[in-house]
Structure 1
Amino acid sequence: MSDRRFQPVGIIDIGSNSVRFVAYGGAPRVPTNLFNEKITAALGKGLAKNGALDEVAVARTLEALARYRRLAREMGLKKIHTVATAAVREASNGPAFLKQVTALGLKPRLLSGAEEAELAGLGVISAIPRANGVVADLGGGSLELVGVARDAAGEGVSLPLGVLRIGAEPDRKALRNQIAEGLQGTRLGSAARGHSLYLVGGSFRALGQLDLRSSGHPLPIVHQHVLRPSGSRRSGPWSPGRAPPN
């Protein structure tokens, strides 16, 4: 039997809120997580106000990327895939930032909104074979929605509704209207009807962790945890600095 293992590879994800470096190795279907580190850079913090990446956040991000590049070299990684998403894509100083990233010895690829949505869908399919419904990936700068069925990702959309943009107390009516407008002309509504909604991203993970704690779940594992609408309403208001509701 042939050895289907692959050479370790590094992936750097420059998000609108966090920047993550992961190294994988082992079997292609079930790769082993060799290293995983992230920082909260908040690149997209000032995007809604002035349309540019925050200067302090840029400096913080470049410092982290230089460290990740050194770590990858020490690990002997032959391939490093670096991707950037919504904040860099939409910022007026995004191209200049990418040049700075390139100067560090990395080769950043700027993903389109459709590519972000597709990759989110493929990630869910990889973890949950035969997933059927809609994937929602909530980041700092955008919300990606994509239909998944029969081990394939369908059409997807990217909406400018990331957590850094909408703030702590968003206008719910305005949000609903933006989502409705973004879904016009798509088949995502029919893809979701009667099927599952797969939640991806740190904000959704926090929601899952809240539900685990408030329900007294015996296992603190949020991956593939199922949220019920009644359960999420039961959780009520809570912050990490306080004890969860009973």
Structure 2
Amino acid sequence: MTATYDYTGRTVLVTGGTRGLGAGIARAFAEAGADVLVCGRTPPPTAEPGLRFVRADVRDPEDVERLVAGLDRLDVVVNNAGGSPHAPLEGTSGRLHARVIELNLTAPLLVSQRAHPLLAASGGTVLMIGSSSGTRPSPGTSAYGAAKAGLHHLARCLAAEWAPAVRVNTVVVGLAETENAADHYAGKNSELGATIPAGRMATPADVAETCLWLAAAPGYVTGAQVHVDGGGEMPAWRYLVSSEIS
């Protein structure tokens, strides 16, 4: 059974909504009838029906203020903007790691804080786009993993602080296949997909469907973490043990 959603008359903000998972999430809400505002540092490659773009860097408090101040109503905030280059701690600058934490943890806090009055007025919801990197070791992207772990905790804190007026939930995304996945995963998408119980990486549509459900979920669903990871990642020892060994 395929669920259908009607977000007609609702206003949705998707940060980092111009590409990747964010673009898929924004498109899904627009197709469900919502008025969708996306923000990013650069415009989307092509304009899409139902989407409005505002240039904003969500790490900048003044940009966040300008972004939200232009809205009369807000029902859903999707804190999607995030990411990190491969950045081992050794040999990389502290400033780089600080910027990674700003984007993945501080920015969602700022956006949620500024959006709270509008969300409280509409009985709205915040969705954090988390990552499995925040639930397991993340070598090579330690700052990113730590920031995502912090984001998961932030969502639980805000859920408790803002209940019952505003719900706050997290979508914890595993390995995902977007337009940049081939570069990010060195072109080994199919091999990586084979390490996932579901047999493939997540798609933007998988994540978007979860966001649609969480934004429409019953009012008691808050502080939740929904893992969209296809069952997780197979532990390495499974591939080191022969099937003949009992």
Give the TM-score normalised by structure 2: 0.35
Which structure has more relative contact order (CA 8 Å, sep 6+)? It is: 2
Give the TM-score normalised by structure 1: 0.35
